[in-house]
């Protein structure tokens, strides 16, 4: 705070209280020049650097680089971004706290004070990823699922209770409360953050990073934040700035207004398709234009939520009057609301329709009136399909032979066919945070019940809101009872189906799918539909708005054109069409008007308290954790057993390929996720530890045990390794060529001290910010990954774990080089490793011939080089702490 090269420190008086802050207008007058046309996101970064200027991590030159941002010259300047806070969910949060506990052990082992390992900025962890849809379609589903969740996860939750008491600046929102991003939107975020620094109250933009890629949802509230891996988040918690390149900013102009019957989900699927086609990976997206005034805050949050799906680092909406209206509705304090408006207007961070457009690196435009009802799938969120085209889109992925084949369902008069919907889930913060689409779903249910329609018997229906406020307003509107009548009873407050916690299908349904090798579907209001994610038996998965989820549960199939064909027959014998049960915009607005401030006050009054299950958990004591040797959930990780920093990169010789993979390999393919199969290496490990199959739980719940997680890395049932013909986590042990699981091969290679590589195609690491995609890669012995391109978060995570990310140059690829997995790869020792430098990789063919391939080192900044040479970002932090 004491370095102020541009004399920008000022005081703002609001509601009789003084706030210190860095004034952008003053900085402009004192040497930075005209800042008025900078994108809002760049202004937020600029304030961050002005406030954090120390002459070392942040210099005057760094500030000048941000202030001088040019639309077509971004990407060259490295800056250090310091978020105000960190947000975690429990799947990524548990291993992060495990790492912090292990770091405390390492400090204590070397004679230091373990309390030095402590979050330096506020950290909130929301337990939202562990509830599964075991029970559904009945009034007791919620209580039964919560009880099962507590039983399965008791040990994990006890560990988090320990972390809650052992670490400062660390809060836990208990299970059964909501989804982290919706809780953040409705309660945690403040739009303008305040803190006490050296006895003074400072105000600055609310910023954050989160251990979930959909952290970007909060961009809808004018809060700059994005998802990072747990590794990077842990470093931020420990006071390390996030090293990043000054980004390009793509502007997205919105005009007009959504048409009758079109939802925010239809809009976000359209935006996702447009931005994915444009290409925004590693870029900021900022929305602007008069159309923003036609978008409620909840619609903005829905669009911002899906930034990972369109590939952007963030999808930002500046603060304006609609932001203030939402802050009031959601129960933020009067002082907070007054500060947000006064601060943003003073800083030039306030948006109006008549202001001059910021300058952008590129501009896309969408007339909201052109948006049409849509779904996306069957396996990528950017593959939008118009409602009337879903039948043909489904039939395109069905078996060519006998597509109308059906299998009788045991114990019923029904049969199951290709294209049938077996899961219909209103799930995910993407849409359950939006009262308009949730009320629309309730109105569709009401009209359907009144017409005499019921859901099909083979459909597993579920409703998992992102907060209890949703329950309050559905009850107030009298709509929950109608949802209950067609099977959409509340099953829990968490991510559920969207992250693969869809639970088992009933025995007869699962058996029919298996018997006929049927291509059956899920329809969900989520944001991800990657292969193998939703359920192992659903080969086609369609993203849709909540009211469409209800409609497809009634229809029971995706081989239908709901725009023209009847959903079913009503109790009066008449055909019922979607148009007969679809609510008007006016009907939806009438219901949305029932949402009020008191609902938010009620549900967030004791947000950190939890139910009797949570409060009754025993809490371990002590600054360091007492690891239990027999635990299969929480194990002391091996990442900090060897601490040393090198000035040079040693390279490697004669590495073998563990996997030869294609395009769009997601973190779902890499990181262990979903159910643990008994026959898998992880299942074998758990059985050897005395765990029965019914108690395996999910990979996500066991992220605190590296033994389970490394066995599940690259074990996805839909992974396609080109070295083998078998689908799933298999490879060939070379040079003999024996086929086996990737884990077993890695163990055998390690026994012979053979380094390993992964080679893949484009968009490697797409999807969730799963740190175990990088941690598991490291533990399997992979030294380097070579791809055609990376998704942002996973590349960063690889660096954070000390795995070298390499990239093909000049159009080269595994295909152009005719790689088949029999090759040996070598990298030379590099004494002065540089960011983004070219490296010569030697390839030795099976016939003994050798060739040199120039590849790009994707250590993108000098700070990343320092992290990598320390063996990863956490090792770097720990080494620095012990040196001091």
The model's pLDDT over 277-287, given as tens digits with 9 standing for 90+, comes to 999 988 999 99
d(CA 669, CA 742): 13
Instruction: Give the residue among 289, 224, 282 at the shortest CA–CA distance from 248.
Output: 282
d(CA 656, CA 545): 46
pLDDT at 555: 98
463: confidence class by pLDDT, cuts 50, 70, 90: very high
CA distance 247 to 535: 36
The highest-level CATH class for domain 374-604 is: alpha beta
Q: DSSP 3-state assignment of 798? A: helix
Query: How many C-beta atoms lie closer than 10 Å to residue 248's C-beta?
Result: 22
Rounded-to-integer distance, Cα 298 and Cα 389, Å? 28
| Alpha carbon separation from 446 to 178, 439, 482, 490, 591 (Å, rounded) | 25, 10, 5, 16, 13
Give percent of the chain with pLDDT exceeding 90.
Answer: 83
Question: What are the domain boundaries of the chain?
Answer: 21-69, 374-604, 652-671+713-883
113-117, 314-318, 433-437, 816-820, range with the lowest pLDDT: 113-117
- Count of CB atoms within 10 A of residue 13's CB? 9
- Its CATH architecture, for the domain 652-671+713-883, is Alpha-Beta Barrel (3.20)
Reduced to 3 states (helix: H, G, I; strand: E, B; else coil), residue 416 is strand
Burial tier of 607 (Cβ tally within 10 Å: 0-12, 13-18, 19+): buried
Span 817-835, pLDDT tens digits? 999 999 999 999 999 999 9
Distance CA 326, CA 518 (A): 46
Residue 102 DSSP symbol:
H
pLDDT in tens, 683-699: 999 999 999 998 898 88
pLDDT(768) > 80: no
pLDDT value at residue 75:
67
Q: Which residue has the higher pLDDT, 26 or 701?
A: 26
Query: Which range (101-110, 141-150, 247-256, 724-733) has the least confidence?
Result: 101-110
- Give per-residue pLDDT as tens, 38-60: 999 999 999 999 999 998 889 99
Q: At 717, is the pLDDT very low, low, confident or very high (cuts 50, 70, 90)?
A: confident
Query: pLDDT tens across 587-634, in order?
Result: 999 999 999 999 999 999 999 999 999 999 998 889 999 999 899 999
In tens, the pLDDT along 505-532 reads 999 999 999 999 999 999 999 998 888 8
* 687/187 Cα distance (integer angstroms): 42
pLDDT of residue 769 exceeding 80, the answer is no
- How far is residue 187's CA from residue 178's CA, in Å, rounded to a whole number? 11
Nearest in space to 795 (alpha carbons), one of 823, 760, 830, 819: 760
Strand partners, 92: none
Q: Nearest Cα to 484, choosing from 459, 507, 454? A: 454
Measured distance between the N- and C-terminal CA atoms of the chain, rounded to whole angstroms: 22
Residue 685, classed as helix, strand or coil, is: helix
Sign of CA dihedral 45, 51, 57, 61: positive
> β-strand 384-386 against 374-376: which pairing, if any?
antiparallel
- Mean pLDDT for the stretch of residues 327-349: 97
Sheet holding 224-227, edge to edge: 170-173, 123-126, 85-89, 207-210, 224-227
Cβ burial 796-816 (10 Å sphere, 16+ → b, else e)? bbbbbbbbbbbbbeeeebbee
Token pair 């990528």 is at which residue?
A: 380
Looking at residue 770, its pLDDT comes to 78
CB 751 within 8 A of CB 656: no
Q: Do residues 865 and 796 touch, judged by C-beta distance below 8 A?
A: no
Report pLDDT digits (tens) over 631-687: 999 999 888 877 777 889 999 999 999 999 999 999 889 988 778 889 999 999 999
For the CA atoms of 83, 243, 639, 173, the dihedral, rounded to the nearest 10 degrees, stands at 20
Top mean-pLDDT range of 474-483, 496-505, 611-620: 474-483
Hunting for tokens 């497809």 — which residue is that? 552
- Alpha-carbon distance of 714 to 673, in angstroms, equals 10
Q: Note the pLDDT of residue 230.
A: 82
Determine the angle formed by the axes of helices 230-237 and 792-800, rounding to 10 degrees. 60
CA pair distance 90, 96, nearest whole angstrom: 9
Side-chain-side CA neighbours of 697 within 13 Å: the count stands at 26
Contacts of range 582-587, beta carbons closer than 8 Å, 24 or more positions apart:
582/261, 582/444, 582/447, 582/547, 583/439, 583/440, 583/443, 583/444, 583/447, 583/547, 584/260, 584/261, 585/260, 585/261, 587/443
Contact 600, 468 (CB under 8 A): no
Whole-angstrom Cα distance, residue 28 to residue 164? 43
Check pLDDT > 90 for residue 411: yes
Mean per-residue pLDDT of the chain: 94
Round to whole Å and give the CA distance between 835 and 852. Answer: 21
Can you give the pLDDT at residue 807? 98
Residue 855 pLDDT? 97
pLDDT, position 248: 95
The shares of helix, strand and coil residues in the chain, as percent rounded to the nearest 5, are 35, 20, 45
- By the 8 A CB rule, do 153 and 701 touch? yes
The lowest-confidence range among 337-346, 404-413, 875-884 is 875-884
Is the pLDDT reported for residue 232 higher than 90? no
To the nearest 10 degrees (0 to 180), the angle between helices 771-779 and 792-800 is 40
Residue 869 has pLDDT above 90, yes or no: yes
d(CA 297, CA 113) in angstroms, rounded, equals 46
Contact 125, 173 (CB under 8 A): yes
Write out 166-232 in H/E/C secondary structure: HCCCEEEECCCCECHHHHHHHHHCCCEEEEEECCEEEEEECEEEECCHHHHHHHHHCCEEEECCHHH
Q: Is the pLDDT of residue 1 over 70?
A: no
376 closest CA partner among 315, 299, 306, 283: 306
Which structure tokens are listed for 465? 């809101």
Residue 419, both tokens: 């294209």
| Model confidence at 499: pLDDT above 80 | yes
Assess contact for 343 and 192: CB atoms under 8 A: yes
* Burial call 129-150: b when 16+ CB within 10 Å, e when fewer: bbbbbbbbbeeebbeebbebbb
Task: State what percent of residues in the chain have pLDDT above 70.
Answer: 99
CA 221/CA 323 separation, integer angstroms: 6
**Quick one: tokens of 774?**
């990088």
Helices 90-109 and 154-166, axial angle in degrees (round to 10): 60
Specify the pLDDT at position 369. Answer: 98
C-beta separation of 193 from 204 below 8 A: yes
Tell me the backbone φ, ψ of residue 26, rounded to 5 degrees.
Answer: -65, -40
Which CA distances in Å does 535 have to 424, 514, 644, 665, 818? 12, 13, 43, 18, 34
């Amino acid at each position: 705070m004491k370095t102020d090269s541009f004399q920008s420190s000022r005081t703002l008086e609001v509601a009789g209280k003084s706030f210190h802050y860095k004034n952008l207008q003053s900085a402009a007058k004192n040497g930075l020049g005209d800042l008025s046309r900078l994108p809002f996101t760049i202004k937020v970064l600029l304030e961050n650097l002005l406030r954090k200027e120390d002459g070392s991590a942040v210099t005057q030159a760094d500030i000048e680089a941000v202030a001088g941002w040019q639309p077509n010259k971004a990407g060259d300047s490295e800056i250090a971004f310091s978020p105000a806070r960190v947000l975690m969910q429990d799947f990524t949060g548990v291993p992060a706290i495990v790492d912090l506990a292990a770091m405390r052990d390492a400090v204590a082992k070397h004679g230091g004070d373990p309390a030095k390992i402590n979050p330096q900025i506020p950290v909130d962890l929301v337990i939202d990823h562990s509830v599964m849809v075991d029970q559904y379609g009945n009034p007791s589903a919620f209580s039964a699922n919560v009880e099962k969740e507590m039983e399965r996860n008791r040990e994990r939750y006890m560990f988090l209770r320990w972390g809650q008491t052992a670490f400062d600046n660390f809060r836990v929102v208990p299970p059964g409360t909501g989804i982290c991003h919706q809780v953040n939107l409705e309660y945690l975020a403040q739009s303008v953050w305040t803190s006490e620094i050296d006895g003074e109250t400072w105000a600055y933009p609310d910023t954050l990073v989160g251990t979930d890629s959909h952290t970007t949802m909060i961009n809808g509230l004018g809060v700059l934040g994005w998802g990072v891996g747990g590794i990077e988040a842990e470093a931020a918690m420990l006071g390390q700035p996030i090293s990043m390149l000054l980004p390009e900013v793509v502007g997205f102009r919105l005009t007009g207004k959504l048409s009758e019957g079109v939802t925010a989900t239809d809009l976000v699927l359209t935006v996702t398709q447009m931005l994915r086609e444009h290409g925004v990976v590693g870029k900021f997206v900022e929305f602007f234009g008069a159309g923003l005034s036609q978008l409620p805050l909840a619609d903005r949050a829905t669009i911002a939520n899906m930034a990972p799906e369109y590939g952007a680092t963030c999808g930002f909406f500046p603060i304006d009057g609609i932001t203030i209206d939402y802050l009031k509705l959601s129960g933020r304090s009067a002082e907070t609301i007054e500060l947000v408006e006064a601060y943003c207007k003073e800083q030039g961070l306030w948006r109006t329709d008549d202001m001059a457009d910021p300058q952008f690196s590129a501009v896309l435009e969408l007339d909201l009136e052109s948006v049409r009802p849509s779904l996306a799938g069957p396996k990528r969120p950017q593959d939008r399909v118009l409602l009337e085209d879903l039948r043909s889109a489904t039939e395109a992925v069905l078996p060519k032979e006998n597509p109308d084949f059906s299998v009788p369902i045991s114990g019923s008069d029904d049969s199951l066919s290709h294209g049938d919907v077996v899961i219909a889930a209103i799930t995910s913060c993407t849409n359950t945070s939006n009262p308009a689409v949730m009320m629309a779903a309730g109105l569709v249910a009401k009209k359907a019940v009144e017409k005499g329609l019921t859901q099909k018997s083979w459909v597993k229906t579920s409703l998992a809101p992102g907060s209890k406020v949703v329950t309050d307003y559905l009850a107030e509107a009298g709509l929950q009872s109608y949802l209950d009548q067609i099977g959409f009873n509340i099953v829990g407050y968490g991510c559920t189906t969207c992250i693969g916690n869809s639970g088992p299908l009933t025995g007869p349904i699962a058996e029919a799918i298996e018997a006929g090798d049927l291509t059956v579907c899920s329809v969900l209001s989520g944001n991800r539909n990657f292969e193998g994610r939703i359920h192992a038996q659903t080969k086609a998965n369609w993203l849709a708005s909540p009211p469409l989820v209800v409609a497809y549960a009634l229809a029971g199939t995706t081989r239908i054109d709901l725009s023209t064909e009847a959903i079913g027959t009503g109790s009066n014998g008449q055909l019922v069409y979607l148009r007969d049960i679809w609510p008007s915009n006016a009907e939806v607005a009438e219901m949305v008007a029932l949402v009020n401030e008191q609902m938010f006050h009620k549900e967030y009054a004791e947000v950190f308290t939890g139910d009797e299950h949570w409060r009754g958990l025993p809490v371990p004591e002590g600054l360091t954790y007492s690891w239990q040797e027999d635990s299969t959930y929480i194990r002391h990780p091996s990442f900090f057993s060897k601490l040393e920093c090198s000035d040079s990169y040693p390279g490697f010789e004669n590495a073998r390929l563990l996997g030869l993979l294609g395009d769009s390999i997601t973190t779902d393919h890499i990181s262990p996720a979903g159910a643990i199969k008994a026959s898998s290496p992880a299942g074998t490990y758990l059985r050897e530890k005395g765990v029965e199959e019914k108690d395996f739980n999910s990979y996500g719940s066991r992220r605190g045990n590296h033994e389970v997680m490394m066995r599940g890395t690259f074990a996805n049932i839909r992974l396609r390794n080109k070295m083998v013909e078998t689908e799933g986590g298999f490879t060939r042990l070379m040079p003999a060529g024996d086929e086996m699981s990737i884990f077993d091969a890695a163990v055998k290679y390690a026994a012979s001290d053979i380094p390993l590589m992964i080679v893949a195609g484009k968009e490697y690491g797409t999807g969730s910010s799963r740190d175990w995609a990088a941690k598991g890669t490291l533990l399997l012995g992979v030294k380097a990954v070579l791809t055609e391109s990376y998704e942002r978060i996973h590349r960063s995570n690889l660096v954070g774990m000390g795995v070298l990310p390499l990239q093909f140059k000049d159009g080269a690829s595994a295909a152009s080089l005719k790689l088949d997995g029999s090759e040996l790869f070598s990298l030379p020792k590099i004494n002065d490793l540089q960011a983004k430098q070219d490296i010569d990789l030697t390839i030795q063919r099976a016939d003994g011939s050798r060739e040199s391939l120039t590849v790009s080192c994707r250590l993108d900044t000098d700070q990343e080089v320092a992290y990598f040479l320390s063996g990863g970002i956490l090792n770097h932090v720990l080494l620095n702490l012990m040196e001091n």
